[in-house]
Chains A and B, each alone.
Chain A
Amino acid sequence: MSAPLRNTKVMNRTDLTCRLVGRLTHGEAVIGGIGNTNFDLWAAGQRPQNFYMLGSMGLACPIALGVALAQPPRRVFAIEGDGSLLMQLGCLTTIATLAPSNLAIIVMDNGIYQITGCQPTPARQADIVAIAAGCGIAASHWAVDEEDFERLVDVALATPGPMLIAARIDDRPGVGATKRDPAQIRERFMQGLGVRQPI
């Protein structure tokens, strides 16, 4: 284990997601990744500015980047699992290069593919924050504990990004159950972003 991990507390995804959502007061967009990350986002309260990604493992960050590029005045958060991020690590280089000032990534790192049976990922020797920094996202940080996580979210809300916040989490599953209706999720999100009006 590398140095930054040593002092990080093992936290809980549901709790951290609630803490994040509780700090969003300006219609910030949130993209929840496949499985547990969007289940917990759903459970934290169904804001119209939330997008719940049902398939396409690994694309929470690219989708968030697209929203950020389309709406520069709006802050955009991606919540992604560590296994999912591993599948699309290259997107960190794209984000670093385009450097959207309104984008923040939150990585929920349990070291496993929790939802498919808790198998360990191949990244047990890796440090996600070091990877992100190495890709060029200079503002990449481990959250030491819940208080530190909230502080880092406040930094993401107040200062130009891009930023990546990683949190070590336990092996508990997500608590919500996202309604599996992709067209309705997409439409509601577009309404939440002011792109569409309800008919």
Chain B
Amino acid sequence: MAADADAARSPGISPDLPHWHEIVQATLKRNEVNLVPYVPDRVLTPLIAGLHADPFFTTFATAREEEAVGILAGAWMGGRRGALLMQTSGFATLANVLASLVVPSQIPLIMFVSERGTLGEFNVGQSLVCRTMRPVLDALAMEHHTMTRLDELEFIVDRSIKQAVATQAPVALILSPLLTGGKVFA
């Protein structure tokens, strides 16, 4: 039983299950989400590499997460879907743009946040920044999900993208260390 739960969560433990980043990439593609700016994070590295390797995606680094939100808002208004990849500290820079552009303009911004600051964090600053994330999301009544299990991942990502577009509302998809393995103290 415990072994089953581990297999459902942990990357690469079961040879039958794809890695989390392969599921995310395939689900983005199936939903025609093809513009993917990011500010990198160690945990996101395999996803970023996979996106760069697939010409379906236009993926690139931006100088700030806020800049990427502007790009995605413009792209949505121009008829193109995208998603932003970042870590928890990147999300912490976004309260202003979410409250002053994304939410009032009804932009279905899709965000993936690699969760730092919990479940074995070794940097006190990261753990404090992490505590600001869900209160900000809740203050703006934004949809968010914390994804911990490989077997639920595709469902959550797929349905969340569809809901964001259908309801013209942003969503934050938080990649828990339970799903990705997180970053461990070296």
Contact = CB atoms under 8 A, between A and B. Distances in A.
B77 A190 contact: yes
Given A31-B74, A69-B80, A55 B100 contact: yes
Nearest to B96: A56
A63 B104 contact: no
Interface in A84-103: 88-91, 93-94, 97-98
Q: B35, B66, B70, B78 — which one has the most chain A CB atoms within 10 A of its CB?
A: B78
B79 A193 contact: yes
Contacts of A69: 35, 58, 71, 74-75, 78, 80
A93 B63 contact: yes
B77 A56 contact: no
Classify the secondary structure of B's interface with A. helix
B67 interface: yes
Given A67-B77, A70-B75, A90-B62, A59 B101 contact: yes
Contact of B79 (A51, A71, A94): A71
Contact of A59 (B66, B76, B80): B66
B106 interface: yes
Contacts of A89: 63
A167 to B, nearest CB: 22
Interface stretch (A118-126, A157-165, A181-189): A181-189
Contacts of A63: 70-71, 73-74, 77
Interface residues of B, number: 32
A65 interface: yes
Contact of B78 (A53, A54, A66, A94): A66
Contacts of A53: 101
A195 B77 contact: yes
A173 interface: no
Q: B60, B68, B71 — which one has the most chain A CB atoms within 10 A of its CB?
A: B71
A66 B64 contact: no
Contacts of A91: 62-64, 67, 70
B33 to A, nearest CB: 13
Contacts of A136: none
A64 interface: yes
A176 interface: no
Sorted from nearest, which 7 A-B pairs have the closest CB atoms?
A66-B74, A90-B63, A55-B100, A70-B78, A62-B70, A59-B70, A70-B80
Interface of B: 35, 58, 60-64, 66-80, 82, 96-97, 99-101, 104-107
24 contacts: A54-B104, A55-B96, A56-B100, A59-B97, A61-B70, A66-B76, A66-B82, A67-B78, A68-B74, A68-B78, A69-B58, A69-B78, A70-B75, A70-B80, A71-B79, A74-B78, A88-B67, A93-B63, A94-B60, A182-B104, A183-B105, A185-B105, A190-B77, A195-B77
